Structure 1
């Protein structure tokens, strides 16, 4: 493992405890099979590099199921949870908007259960595995203890077309959104920038969206080095954030995800290239509906608030409209929210966002 200078080692350790955030094909698609309400979930067909694991599907209800896939882009098996609208089976000819929800570091696809609003009757919600510390990136290093780690390729070139081929989605950017929290908030904004042809709507909640901040780089390092702490507990699927987080998985090199984090002789060029807060990347969001949420009342969301306000300022300078909701101590958001990095705030924030997204989808025709 590459050694960290003392200052960066301290940042990495304190990042998790204090400031971590970890924090197209529509015309050619086959018609998915009709699905009757009250029956088992739809039968899905392998494709786009994804192979389903036989016998691994978890059926929570006919409109809530989790299937498991393998892919050459990632080592191991990976779960994808799907929430269908309750009326999905009523009209076999009807197609639906779709939202992709990206969970936080140390989390799983089951974290989505902590936000009831994600079970919308107006859209399909897809929750793909993002890894304990995947950071929604194709890693610089592919030979670490976690093996192949091409998370961005997995999500954008495999999962999205797989879902469009197997479920009755409206497969255009006006009817497709990406939303994430903490590590997933960073991933959501990056994905919307990387593939504006796919996503017409993006939301980041308490996201680590400015890689120019040493505190956020420290958060990534902390996940690589598996330095668990207070935020890790908050990333679980319990609304109060009191559930137990098992950590970020095997320790990997501190340069594994984005390369060297040190701003010396352009060593941090990958960080800069994919920084969601970089003006060049934000400019790619022209025509995209952008929403940012953050609290500012614990030592973690103190930094997500700084990042969110920086991004909003840069979007304003670019003339790109965006909605920023800084709910501060949480008192204006919901009784469950203390302004911190937890589902007590994220669940009501998602309720606010999903209701607005439903309207935007409806207006898209």
Structure 2
């Protein structure tokens, strides 16, 4: 049956569509050579479940998802997908795909996620113009960057193995990194500050620099123990909840051996030869945002213990003890998880990396 002749209206629609496509393809703002994020290959126990996608038109930061048998079922915050770990990567603003770059691993705090907008802002601002790749792995709302001793029904929660034995070599195999100790640094905020020091102490062969932004570094401190165990039973930290002994075992003597053994403040000896930086405020005005003020004040106490032990071991370190924040950064009032404070921390740490400390 012959095709019927198109009406004038149909012919006009086809012509307009063709012109529109031609205009888009010829536009200086849409180019065929615009960079695509890399395609990633499975390996080292990691399966890529979602290939990278740019988070915005700036094409500096992309996000992808992976699965791992080391943490097959992480507890979930709102918006997170079962069995998937998002990883966020920020490239240098003048990224050259033919070059290789040092990489810093940035560990988020509690209860947070690597793809939250404020984490991306902090990283992108601090690394603008700096030849540095930043990788932000998922640490769950309450992962505590540790291999849990009693995960129970949650299943394996081997966060340390996932990040250090799987993700680090996976990143080196898939991205243009300098795949050596001298090409890696690790830093984190709050729970992530604990994680960064914890990881650096356990595998000092992986990192040449470590930084903690208001990390809870003293697991022998009863207030820090109370804060950590509270995150395990609080649904706001992720669901399902877990037992108070899930991560480090019972938090009370004489059953608290894991807490003592995993306390970064007390095991600094392996950091010898590494660049170390600590950052903390004092909470500022306790009548303003008192919860965040107290959290920062207590985190500072753990930084002081860490600093004393570094000094006793003859290990040089940088310590930004910036009090109420008034002299540290505009908008910083010395409180916990305050973006202007964390931004200033990250700015300073990245500059230390750029200067080689």
The question of a shared fold, defined as TM-score above 0.5 by the shorter chain, is answered with yes
Looking at structure 2, the residues matched to 77 and 262 of structure 1 have their Cα atoms a distance apart, in angstroms, of 34
Provide the aligned C-alpha RMSD in A.
Answer: 1.8
Alignment partner, residue 322 of structure 1? 317
Looking at structure 1, the residues matched to 40 and 295 of structure 2 have their Cα atoms a distance apart, in angstroms, of 40
SS in 2 for 1:96: coil
Looking at structure 1, the residues matched to 327 and 93 of structure 2 have their Cα atoms a distance apart, in angstroms, of 31
Alignment partner, residue 104 of structure 1? 109
Q: How does 1:173-322 map to 2 (within 5 A)?
A: 173-226=181-234, 246-264=236-254, 267-278=255-266, 281-297=267-283, 298-322=293-317
SS in 2 for 1:325: strand
* Conserved? CA contact 2:142–2:237, under 8 Å: no
SS in 2 for 1:48: coil
1:357 offset after TM fit, Å? 1.1
Matched, 1:131 2:140: yes
Looking at structure 2, the residues matched to 253 and 355 of structure 1 have their Cα atoms a distance apart, in angstroms, of 41
Looking at structure 2, the residues matched to 58 and 335 of structure 1 have their Cα atoms a distance apart, in angstroms, of 30
Q: What CA deviation, in whole Å up to 9, does each residue of 1:261-313 have, x standing for no partner?
A: 1022xx111111111011xx200001000000000022111111111111111
Looking at structure 2, the residues matched to 223 and 360 of structure 1 have their Cα atoms a distance apart, in angstroms, of 36
Looking at structure 2, the residues matched to 87 and 56 of structure 1 have their Cα atoms a distance apart, in angstroms, of 19
Alignment partner, residue 79 of structure 1? 86
1:37 offset after TM fit, Å? 7.8
1:56 offset after TM fit, Å? 7.3
1:67 offset after TM fit, Å? 0.4
Q: What CA deviation, in whole Å up to 9, does each residue of 1:216-247 have, x standing for no partner?
A: 111110110117xxxxxxxxxxxxxxxxxx53
Q: Which runs of 5+ in 2 are unaligned?
A: 1-31, 74-82, 284-292
SS in 1 for 2:350: helix
The total of aligned residue pairs comes to 301
Looking at structure 2, the residues matched to 335 and 54 of structure 1 have their Cα atoms a distance apart, in angstroms, of 38
1:348 offset after TM fit, Å? 1.2
* Conserved? CA contact 1:209–1:308, under 8 Å: yes
Looking at structure 1, the residues matched to 318 and 200 of structure 2 have their Cα atoms a distance apart, in angstroms, of 16
Looking at structure 2, the residues matched to 313 and 253 of structure 1 have their Cα atoms a distance apart, in angstroms, of 33
* Conserved? CA contact 2:214–2:279, under 8 Å: yes
SS in 1 for 2:343: helix
Looking at structure 2, the residues matched to 314 and 282 of structure 1 have their Cα atoms a distance apart, in angstroms, of 7
Pick one of 41, 45, 52 that aligns with 1:45: 41
SS in 1 for 2:165: helix
Looking at structure 2, the residues matched to 323 and 207 of structure 1 have their Cα atoms a distance apart, in angstroms, of 15
Matched, 1:159 2:159: no
Alignment partner, residue 332 of structure 2? 337
SS in 2 for 1:141: coil
SS in 2 for 1:136: coil
The structure number with the bigger radius of gyration is 2
